[in-house]
Structure 1
Amino acid sequence: RPDAWWGARGTFGGSAGMSGPVGDSPASVIAGPPPQSWEFDVLAAAEAGGCGLREVAWEIFQSTGVTERFGVPDERFKAFLGRMELLYSVENPYHCALHAADVLAATHCLRMGLPDVFDDVEVLALYIGALGHDAGHFRLNNAFLKNSKHTLFRKYPDSVLENFHLGLVFELVEDPEVGIAEHLDPAQLARFKELVTHLILATDMSKHRILVDRFKDWMTRSKEEHARRRRDAMLHDTIGSDVTGTGTSDGDGDGDGDGD
């Protein structure tokens, strides 16, 4: 059961589908530097203690207090993280749960360099977007889906996989058993979903040059005139850059718009 992970871990997508016990706190199985540090090595931590997406995400979210401020009960959020981890295949060597945990850790470190920029809805969207940006990835890229006229391409003609990942994330967010949507008011939920949509679609590498150029342009404008646009650009750039490259030394091999 994904909501029972606090007492005993299952398996997660990693180098070898490792598993390990969870004690009173996920932090107890995270070896080495904490996830809030640029020195954190998700692969080394997994090898040493069997930790994965759930432990890393729990420690990071706890350090921010954002779910507590939205009134999300701990047990519900633990179950949410368990379901999120299950969206990643243990058969996928790169777009796996460890990759999602690594991107979240890097995203958190980047955000901590801008401590007064983002509000709680933006932080929640940024972190959920980081966790779910490759949810359900099945080892095919956008070019293949397009050229093979895959059913997903017929459903999503642009940014095929990114739209697929986004749909899975929203299904989980709105899940009546473990979702967090009911803890946001209508205005917050609408803004959260808008931000997550922009963030996950921004991981389409075919759009990265446009995003980088837009970011450079916005950063040269006056703070007073474009403060909001600059914050939006920072949100997109933080997750869209996918800065860490877990599990490979030469990128993910997609190279055609599905770097994620």
Structure 2
Amino acid sequence: MLPGGMTPVVQLVAIIRNASPRDAAQLLKDMPVDRLPVVTAAMGPGEVARLLWAAPVDFRGALIDALTTEQLLEVLRAQQTNQAVTLLSMLPDERLGVVAESLSDKVVAALLTRLPDSRQAAVLEAMDPAKGFAALSRRYEQEVADSLVRANVEVTFPNGAPNGIVLVQGLGWRIVVAARYGDDGTIALRDAEDGAYRLEANGALSVTNLRPADAVVGHCRELRIQGQAVDAMRWTDTQHDGVLKRILVSLFQ
């Protein structure tokens, strides 16, 4: 009989704590499935986190799924964002949506980026709509920032600035970019102009996943006639990288 089968839980936990992470993980894997939640509960999240990455890859999903939501969240807090996302992606969609409710928008955004479209939809459906929208917003803001980096300009995130506000510098010019998900430029342009004023920048750019409203386009046109470097554009994915770079160059001139 394997130690994990009939050994009292208290004694089994003591054995696990004295074993190497790899041996402890193998012991957990070899025990009956119905004992796993009982033993991990007695171990505590800290001990689970200690041996998690030493566990066989095909067992990690079962190991984290055996934890209660509270235990799992504590384990995740001890991980780097990319590690947390790797673990989360092993959970079933329904439970993943429940757990995501208690995660930071940053972690959920990174998680959505990692998941295939079908799983993203399932997770978002299981989440509170407001929480899901916030995560999508954080993901969009990061994607726009990544696109700006690919444009070979200096990109910084000003201290104290709202989410999605980025300062871009090139050719001696400073442009504030406001990335807003689910917006037609009405909010993004205002935020970009406000940011440009506070940061004493030379111009402002609104970047949204929706097509800029006619009023926004007209406002930008009037300001450019007056000599101000202001514009609005739609960015949805890397196919718009070239457009973003061209607009930045035009604002730098």
TM-score range (shorter-chain normalised) is: under 0.3
Highest relative contact order (Cα 8 Å, sep 6+), 1 or 2? 1
Structure holding more strand per residue: 2
TM-score, normalised with respect to structure 2:
0.27
Report the TM-score when normalising by structure 1: 0.26
Report which of the two has the higher share of helix. 2
